[in-house]
Amino acid sequence: MVNYRTFNAKLVTSGSAALVDRAWGVLPVNGVTGTITLEGFGTGSTVHPTIALEHLAAGQPFPCYVRSINVTNGGSVYVLA
C-alpha cells in the first residue's frame, strides 16, 4: 500500500471540465466517463496523450501529470495537487 500526500483536491463533476495547475493525479469517485489529457507529447509536436476515465478504478488514486480533465456523463473525479 502506498500513502499519497495531497495539499489540494478539486472536485470535477459531470458535464464540466477543468484545467489544474500542478496536478499530480486523479481519484475517480464513482462511475465516471470522460477523458484526462496528460502532460508530455504524443507522436506529434502538439498532441497530448489521453486516458479514458472509465478505465480507472473508483477510489484508487491514479498518479499522472494532468493537463486537463473533462467529465462527460455521470460520476465525479478529484484532481489531486
Q: What are the sequence ranges of the domains in the chain?
A: 18-23+30-80
φ and ψ at residue 63, rounded to 5 degrees: -70, 125
The answer to whether the beta carbons of residues 67 and 25 sit under 8 Å apart is no
Which residues, 6+ apart, have CB-to-CB distance to 42 below 8 Å? Answer: 48, 49
pLDDT digits (tens, 9 = 90+) for 33-52: 999 988 876 566 677 889 99
- In residues, how long is the chain? 81
Percent of the chain at pLDDT > 90 equals 23
> What cell numbers appear for 64 in the block?
499522472
Largest CA distance in the chain: 37
The answer to whether the beta carbons of residues 67 and 39 sit under 8 Å apart is yes
**The overall pTM is greater than 0.85:** no
